[in-house]
Amino acid sequence: MSQTRFSVLIHQQAKKYGDRVALKHRDYKTNTWIPTTWNQFSETVAIVSNALIELGVGVQENIGVFTQNKPESLFMDFGAFGVRAVTVPLYATSSEAQVHYILEDAQIRYLFVGEQQQYDVAFRVMALSSTLKQIVVFDRDVKFDARDESTIYMDDFLAMGKNRQHQAEVDKRTAESDTEDLMNILYTSGTTGESKGVMLSHAGYESVMDAHCERFPGLGENDVIINFLPFTHVFERAWSCWCLCVGAELNINLRPQDIQMTIKEVRPTAMCSVPRFWEKVYAGVTEVINGATGVKKTLMQDAIKVGREHNVEYVCKGKTAPLWLHMKYKFYEKTIYSLLKKTLGLDRGAFFPTAGAAIPPAVQDFVLSVGINMVAGYGLTESIATVSCENNFDHMVGSVGKLMPHMQVKFGENDEILLKGPAITKGYYKKEAATKAAFTEDGWFRTGDAGYMKDDFLFLTERIKDLFKTSNGKYIAPQAIETKMVVDRYIDQISIIADERKFVAALIVPDYKLVEKYAADKGIQYASMAELLKHDAIMELFKERIDTLQQQFAHYEQIKKFTLLPEPFSMAKGELTNTLKIKRSVLNKNYAAEIEAMYAE
């Protein structure tokens, strides 16, 4: 891989694969998947490069891509790389304030947007922006504002490069491209403050590709991928780059909420995801088992038990299972496991890297038990994703795997994980003070995560910046408690409250459908969800479930009081980042009355 530059990757792959399918996307009007061959991909990328020159985009100029996952996202990326431009992806769900901040910070003149929602936001921002010159819209169905005199569609943009009249300049820039050129600026979610633009170079991405090819030589041109996370997310972005490097076929999921449907249509061999996807799978299967009776329930429970013993206790530890256990496992593999995987659309699945948050051990145990190769990992935007990950069925439950070959690690004050390596960012865009604060005097990157190594496996213990200190002086790791709680099928979202407080409390968003079913079964009458969630029987139900889950925690870490919320946390209210991480400061403000009520004498 190291010989291939991203500026020419798609063109070189087209010479190798020609009319093989490189990409597919779902047409929602016909409910079919539309293919794009490597040749078509290469041709479109060349046209994009020419059109960018026509617009006057300069070397290392930043261009914005504000869209949900679409093939055009990739056309813009690789077309930009060919002329040494830098792509700045924005989450499709970004607010006007977030978009305006990024446009101004990165001095973006040209913004490429996906659908109506992104266009509407971009057009409103344009009136406030000192830099934005033009918007280009991917979706032809988008209706322009009557006052808009400058926006064009992607078709019109591509027509500007159709004749490839600037090919000589494109070739010149490609030849002059430097591995130290910036490839992307990825803006962090900003859970604790102002968003920062992480500068990522071509050399950094290339080192990541080499490391992954070395660690996982099995991923290749016969793999079928579904892209589920946003391309703006460093995990999906780096993963997709790697998949394209090895010639795999990418199936681009447009709408995140449709993944349960599209995954069954595509039946991928591999997919990267965050733990929340697997938590939902675990909750769904648990619900099915709990609802079963008689022999069916007994068989399903035994299948999970046998799978865990076989895979977690033997296979993952490099040991050979006893023959009787192996035979039982094979029986369930042909019956229950295969049926489960087919129902989920994972019957061809071979490789499922998962990162972005802590994986509840019960969820990891379950997924491995049924023979799904979920590979836990750890990474940051600043490290271009993977710092460490497990190998295929080389797991230690609770860990985030072994260090990748391109990474160095050591531990600093408070056991903070410190990193060095070619993939580490050079810093934050136009933020010298923040960049300086992010590194030690001798050049190690401060992750803000605490952890330790055991038997070559990396373990995370807590987010140092996220530690709470109770008024009694005890330190609480809220994420550890939250990770334990979301395993429960009745709990959809949770935020721990404890900082400068007498005890631990929690704001909980229940699974409303399950609560309604429980109420119906118990004959509980109610006029609204808010009324139901205050009912003594519902409160007692949650208390029992929470107490069962938190037995392992020290007394001072246990949830003493909680409030059940009738509405979920949302991005619209500013309570979640674009990557669905909780913004605790916003929750504390939005639910100040509920929080104070829990601590009232």
The three state secondary structure string of 433-479 is HHHHHCECCCCCEEEEEEEEEECCEEEEEEEHHHCEECCCCCEECHH
**Is pLDDT of 466 > 80?**
no
**Is pLDDT of 1 > 50?**
no
- Per-residue pLDDT of 395-405, as tens digits, reads 787 889 999 99
- Label residue 357 by pLDDT band (50, 70, 90): confident
Query: Which 3 state secondary structure label does DSSP give 423?
Result: coil
The reported pLDDT for the residue numbered 189 is 67
The reported pLDDT for the residue numbered 582 is 86
One-letter amino acid for residue 493 of the chain? Q
* Token pair recorded at residue 537: 């029987």
Q: Rounding to the nearest 10 degrees, give the CA dihedral for residues 268, 273, 278, 280.
A: -100
Name the strand (E) or helix (H) holding 32: strand 32-37
The reported pLDDT for the residue numbered 393 is 65
The three state secondary structure string of 273-323 is ECHHHHHHHHHHHHHHHHHCCHHHHHHHHHHHHHHHHHHHCCHHHCCCCCH
* Token pair recorded at residue 260: 């349960």
Domains along the sequence of the chain with CATH: 9-177+216-266 (3.40.50.12780), 279-372 (no CATH), 467-599 (3.30.300.30)
The reported pLDDT for the residue numbered 601 is 65
Report d(CA 156, CA 136) in Å as an integer: 9
The reported pLDDT for the residue numbered 479 is 85
Report d(CA 191, CA 449) in Å as an integer: 15
- Per-residue pLDDT of 550-589, as tens digits, reads 987 878 889 999 999 999 999 888 898 877 788 888 999 9
**Is pLDDT of 192 > 70?**
no
* Token pair recorded at residue 579: 């990557």
Q: What is the pTM of this model?
A: 0.84
Q: Is 279 left (phi over 0), alpha (psi -120 to 50) or beta?
A: alpha
Determine how many CB atoms are found less than 10 A away from the CB of residue 326: 15
The reported pLDDT for the residue numbered 4 is 67
**Is pLDDT of 57 > 50?**
yes
- Per-residue pLDDT of 221-245, as tens digits, reads 999 999 999 999 999 999 999 999 9
For the chain, the helix, strand and coil percentages under 3-state DSSP, each to the nearest 5: 40, 20, 35
What is the rounded radius of gyration, in angstroms, for the C-alpha atoms of the chain? 25
Report d(CA 529, CA 4) in Å as an integer: 57
The reported pLDDT for the residue numbered 2 is 47
Mean pLDDT over 424-443 rounds to: 96
pLDDT above 90 as % of the chain: 78
Query: How are beta strands 491-497 and 504-510 bridged, if at all?
Result: antiparallel
- Per-residue pLDDT of 81-135, as tens digits, reads 999 999 999 999 888 988 999 999 999 999 999 999 999 999 999 999 999 999 9
Report d(CA 9, CA 80) in Å as an integer: 12
pLDDT above 70 as % of the chain: 98
Query: Which 3 state secondary structure label does DSSP give 493?
Result: strand
